[in-house]
Amino acid sequence: MNVIVREATLDDAQLIADLTRTAWAGKVAVSSSGHRETAVRVLQDLQHGGGFILLREETPIGSVRWAPVETEPDVWEIMRMGVLPDYRGEHLSQHLLEAVIHRALASDVTELRLGVRADQTRLLDLYAALGFELAPELEYTHTNPLEPAPSVMRRILRY
């Protein structure tokens, strides 16, 4: 099957909001703000950072976003990665994460960070396999105050 990752445009805001809500349904705790994702929020993320859309045979099946940390513009946080339920189990999210890594390297970003929800600890191994390490000294800037703080992982980018 043909899998492609393409850069998201501002016109993709509604698509990404829909993909996020669908990918997270039944998989992530209902208290997560991802279940209430809006095109307005996505548009803000895309304008401040960027995003990618994962396609299989031209059908959008997943997405991811990133944005620079406000106080550290050479550090990006990866947010809202998800793949639709029918396409899980094939390690397709790896394509999204690798796309962000390559974009960060091309943009002289020194570090990538992501938050792993307390109810999604199985993802720690996936991210570790891609060079991310636990960073308990860091706080995730997009933490939902109504939920347990996520585990922060980082990947230092070396040239």
Q: What is the dihedral of CA 15, 16, 22, 25, to 10 degrees?
A: -150
pTM tops 0.95: no
Classify residue 68 as exposed, middle or buried by CB count within 10 Å of its CB (0-12, 13-18, 19+): middle
Tokens describing residue 99: 């796309």
Residue whose pair of structure tokens reads 């406000």 in the numeric block: 70
Residue whose pair of structure tokens reads 């996020």 in the numeric block: 20
**Above 70 in pLDDT, residue 23?**
yes
Query: Could you report the per-residue pLDDT of 92-144, keeping only the tens digit for each?
Result: 999 999 999 999 999 989 999 999 887 787 888 889 999 999 999 998 777 77
How much is the average pLDDT of 22-44?
76
For residues 22 and 121, what is the distance between their CA atoms, to the nearest angstrom? Answer: 20
- Close Cβ partners of 130 (under 8 Å, ≥ 6 residues apart): 94, 97, 98, 101, 155
